[in-house]
Amino acid sequence: MQILTRVTVTSDRLRGIALPGLWAAMLLVSPVQAADMAAAEQQAQTLCAACHGPQGISSNPLWPNLAGQQEAYLAKSIKDYQSGARNDPSMSPIAQMLSEQDIANLAAYFSAK
């Protein structure tokens, strides 16, 4: 009985220390722009799938595959269409519609495909 009590006290005390520490750690590691995969899925299917395919694999030889591409490269490419560093009559207007967070989400989404 005494042992049980001691175990309970110890685990309560541990929980008191561990939980706030865990929350703090989670807040610290979650980057400001954590990718929102649900939002990306929604935008990918409504804005991108027509050309790049529902899975990021394009059916048209002039539309690139996005699936499995490097995340940083995808984000940079979309920003290049926004800035005009890259220009394409199909892709540039789409890029203009995307926020910085949208780009981060979509880049993470397609690179994980």
Q: CB-wise, 51 or 57, nearer to ligand HEC?
A: 51
Total number of residues that touch ligand HEC (CB under 6 A) = 20
Q: CB-wise, 16 or 65, nearer to ligand HEC?
A: 65
User: For the residues of the chain, what is the DSSP string, one character each?
Assistant: -HHHHHHHHHHHHHHHHHHHHHHHHHHHHS-TT---HHHHHHHIIIIIHHHH-TTS--SSTTS---TT--HHHHHHHHHHHHHTSS--TTHHHHHHT--HHHHHHHHHHHHT-
Please give the residues from 21 up to 80 whose contact with ligand HEC meets the rule CB under 6 A.
Answer: 43, 47-48, 50-52, 62-64, 66, 74, 77-78
Report residue 77 as tokens.
């490419």
Q: CB-wise, 8 or 60, nearer to ligand HEC?
A: 60
Length of the chain: 113
Q: Taking CB under 6 A as the rule, which mask of x and - marks residues 79-108 in contact with ligand HEC?
A: -------x-x-xx--x---x-------x--
Q: CB-wise, 7 or 89, nearer to ligand HEC?
A: 89
Beta carbons of 3 and 10 less than 8 angstroms apart: no
Given the rule CB under 6 A, which residues bind ligand HEC? Answer: 43, 47-48, 50-52, 62-64, 66, 74, 77-78, 86, 88, 90-91, 94, 98, 106
